[in-house]
Amino acid sequence: MNIVIIAGSGGIGQAFVKNLTRQDNVHSIGATCNPNQPKFVRPQVSRQSLDVTHEPSVQVWSETLGEIDWLINAAGILRTPASAPKRAFIR
């Protein structure tokens, strides 16, 4: 299985990377990351520092990936200066 993880260096994305590398049927993981790449290194993981909002960069990177079985988007914003994280559902 070939997997791409968007935001593979954040908390949730990195957890996906670590857990999926333990699976026997996972052959490759392409993960986008921030410029400070995580220290977690495995042979089946390739990392790419990438601005996923810049479509030409995404296009060039996607052409290097080959066939993708799973695409996991772990990107998100936990906190901004204008808002605190929401820890409960609004009813």
Query: In this predicted model, what pLDDT tens digit does every residue of 1-57 receive, in sequence order?
Result: 999 999 888 888 999 999 999 999 999 999 998 777 777 889 999 999 888 888 999
Task: Return the pLDDT at 78.
Answer: 62
Is 11 a domain residue?
yes
Within the chain, where are the H helices? 11-20, 55-62
Nearest to 38 by CA among 5, 69, 11: 11
In angstroms, the CA 34 to CA 31 distance is: 10
Is 7 a domain residue?
yes
In angstroms, the CA 52 to CA 43 distance is: 24
In angstroms, the CA 43 to CA 4 distance is: 15
What's the number of domains the chain is made of?
1
3-state secondary structure of 83: strand
User: Domain range for residue 43?
Assistant: 2-73
